[in-house]
Amino acid sequence: MIFEGKTIVVTGGTGSMGKTFVRRALTGELGTPRKVIVLSRDEAKQHDMRMSYLHKLVATDEVIYRNFMNVLEFRIGDIRNYADVCSAVKNADIVVNAAALKQVPACEYFPTQAVLTNCVGAANIVRAIEENGYPVDTVIGISTDKACKPVNVMGMTKSIQERIFTAANILNPKTRFICVRYGNVLASRGSVIPLFHDQIKNGGPVTITVPEMTRFLLSLDQAVDTVFAALREAKRGETYVPNAPSATVMNIAKALISNRNIKIKITGIRPAEKMHEIMVSEEEAVRCVKRGDYYVIRPMLPEFMDGEVQQMNALNKEFSSADTVLDLSGTSALLKEHGLMAEDVDLQNSGELLR
């Protein structure tokens, strides 16, 4: 039970994945933590999250509510600020770095801001542990498929975050630095599904960039499952990748529209977008092993090579969202499974999925 009696810091803990991670950590499924600290800079989101536990408006049980009263702590602070990071992580056993600027267009227009959050923020965690000797057992960085062969600022900064954490293992032998990398999270804040819901609610049109564009899809709980798997099993410097399905944006739109009389408008590819995302590159495939339901990318630095080198080459090519694409019925079934079809969602309040 890896969380039993542990102090867990979640940077960006008021985001979609962060909130789901916190909720599940508080259930005790991996042991009852001593403390869960949410570090973020948005006081309004922290207030909403605190109230959701107090009024039990989230999908929860008595274990979460009882633990919340003594265990969950909110701290206003910024991952970019070294002093804030030091204050938060000095007594932590596990640090989950979910703080990020992750909107592709925003990062393109404000690349310096993306660097400060996604790169300098990660470096602040490493620096805090290294310079102060904090007894942190594990740091896990939350990355994205856009970090693989990146073409946009968001992906580039996330790729550097991965390298910052991988290299941190060299000079910090008492702390395990690992990462997870996954694709689009269904209904996460800023993702395409809430946008489509809103467009459907307003009678359309539903706007898509390029019909053939594909994206990996997984639920918030599957994203957290990936983090849990890495925390349980990952070795220093490794990156865990879920074997996730993919779908075309056209089929996502058609599945959500269903039989409604709503038009689809093609807007064209946006700046810095890929037609297909890659979860594991061709170069990384030669360092890839399979563990359970996950691909694991072994670090390229020679200091991390061990006996598992013989088990590499779990993939013989890059792992692309174009490889195995769900058809329309498969896409509909996936969205239905996670309660995201328009008829399953109160479109007037679909934003509640994100708060």
Nearest to 337 by CA among 226, 182, 217, 232: 217
146, 201, 235, 254: the catalytic one is 146
Amino acid at 175: T
- Gap between the terminal Cα atoms of the chain: 29
* 131 vs 27: CA distance, rounded Å: 34
* 125 vs 131: CA distance, rounded Å: 10
Which run of H or E residues covers position 112? helix 111-114
- Helical pair 16-27 and 62-71, crossing angle rounded to 10 deg: 100
Which string of DSSP letters, residue by residue, matches 292-309?
Answer: TTEEEEPPSSGGG--GGG
Residue 290 bears catalytic tag: no
Cis preceding linkage at 302, omega within 30:
no
- The count of other CB atoms within 10 Å of the CB of residue 352 is 11
Residues forming the active site: 146
